[in-house]
Structure 1
Amino acid sequence: MFFGAAKLNSDLLKEDPMKLLGTAAILCGGKSTRMGFDKCSIKVKDRLLLDIIIEKLSQAFEEVILVTNDKSRFPNYKNVYVDEYKDCGPAGGIYTALLYSKSKYLFVIGCDMPFVNLEYISYMKGLIKENKYDCILTQKGNWVEPLYAFYSDDMIPLFKRSLEEGRYKLIDIISKSNYFIVEEKIARSFSKYLEIFSNLNFISDLEILKKV
């Protein structure tokens, strides 16, 4: 079991919105093995789910970037970056996104996470503005959700060292940082069934897209 909260730090981050919280990253590097086809090609009512996620995130962030293992998959998109470390899972994607982000804090979501809740994102932004954490994540049962989370560029050296040593588990990396975990009951006040953390792994999961 891994959850808890780091000690509050009263130092306020006095930076403009773009420098502090202006960038969101969508991780698009998964192999989609269980789905059987590229998740970035999933459509909702004739629109790419990826485009819907970008559109929603653009309401809360000045910059939305994509991180992938193959840039050629996204010829019609700007701000696309290739994993600096290949085949390292989400840890490699987050590291790459932090390198290219224009803001100190980076919001990270997967390309297969269809429910973007702007109110909850705003709540997490408020926590960052008031307290200096390396990352902000959410408790879900006895687990912590490493995506739909914020990461600071202060974690770049930690990610780099872990990746170079072949340690790819996000939870292990996070545990070495000054993290803060939002309690599940608070998250449920924004997303009653925690659908914001739903992701699409199997064909059967596509049923939830009817709610998008």
Structure 2
Amino acid sequence: MTQRRPVVQPSPAAPAVLDADALVLAGGRSRRMGTPKASLPINGVAMIESVLRVVEPIFRRTLVVARPDIALPSLEAEVVFDQFPDRGPLAGLISGLQATTARWCFVTGCDMPFLDSEVIRLMAGQLEGAEVVAVRSSGRIQPLHAFYHRDCLGRGESLLREGVTSLMALHDRCQVKVFDEAEFAGGGRLRRSLWDLDTPEEYAAALAG
């Protein structure tokens, strides 16, 4: 169930540290990239480290949710293992929610090195009355640049038991607020924040600036 909302604007009272945790999903096999994405460098920094540098200062706790056999660069962040490996991002989200007691979690992938903290803060100001807060870009909802309430946990576990692995299937069972680019102050920053690197061509474009 999706709600439409007015244009998202900055909140002058936004706290320095948001009352939420961050989950960085690193459980995929990077088949399209052909090599583990988390360790690929962007401006001399591993891609996952670029993500962590954005989320760690603004969330109470940051968890990297990783496949048990994945090779990650040396990280200071807390790493928890995906309890349902190779079952997609829904499984990573559920593993992360099981490992935290936070009411809200911001969920992102390890392949989004251009995350924008101000975009995330704008989204955090829209949590009231929702169970999921996400954005739509180029006609597509971005489930891995979104906030999920703890109430999503039980429904996500049920989906996994049913053999469903899609995050969008979870959206169908939750109260979702979705913001289009046109509704979002700072559309250009939003698009860059949503940029995920899945293929060698996308990685090359990111390196080229």
Return the alpha-carbon distance in structure 2 between the equivalents of residues 202 and 23 of structure 1: 28
Deviation at 1:91, TM superposition (A): 0.3
1:134 maps to 2:112: no
174-183 or 73-82: which moved more? 73-82
Matching residue of 1:200: 197
Moved more, 106-115 or 132-141: 132-141
Q: 8 Å contact 1:18–1:62 — kept in the other structure?
A: no
Aligned to 1:194, the other structure's residue is in SS state helix
**Residue matched to 1:79:** 78
Q: Which structure shows the bigger proportion of residues in helix conformation? A: 1
The aligned counterpart of 1:38 is 36
User: Displaced runs of 4+ in structure 1, greater than 6 A?
Assistant: 17-20
Distance 1:105 1:71, change over 3 A: farther
Deviates more, 1:134-143 or 1:28-37: 134-143
The answer to whether residue 115 in structure 2 is matched with residue 116 in structure 1 is: yes
Distance 1:164 1:20, change over 3 A: farther
Deviation at 1:42, TM superposition (A): 0.5
> 1:1-212 residue pairs with structure 2 within 5 A?
4-5=2-3, 21-70=19-68, 73-74=71-72, 76-77=74-75, 78-128=77-127, 131-187=128-184, 189-191=186-188, 194-210=191-207
Instruction: Give me the whole-angstrom Cα distance separating, in 2, the residues matched to 1:176 and 1:124.
Output: 20
TM-score norm. by structure 2 comes to 0.85
- What is the aligned length? 199
Q: Tell me the TM-score normalized by structure 1.
A: 0.84
| CA offsets 1:129-185 (integer angstroms, 9 cap, x no match) | xx1311101122332111110001111100000001101111111111111111221
Structure 1: runs of 5+ lacking an equivalent:
8-16
CA RMSD of the aligned region, Å? 2.5
How many angstroms does 1:6 deviate by? 6.8
Contact 2:27 2:85 in 1 (8 A): no
Q: Distance in 2 between matches of 1:114 and 1:19?
A: 20
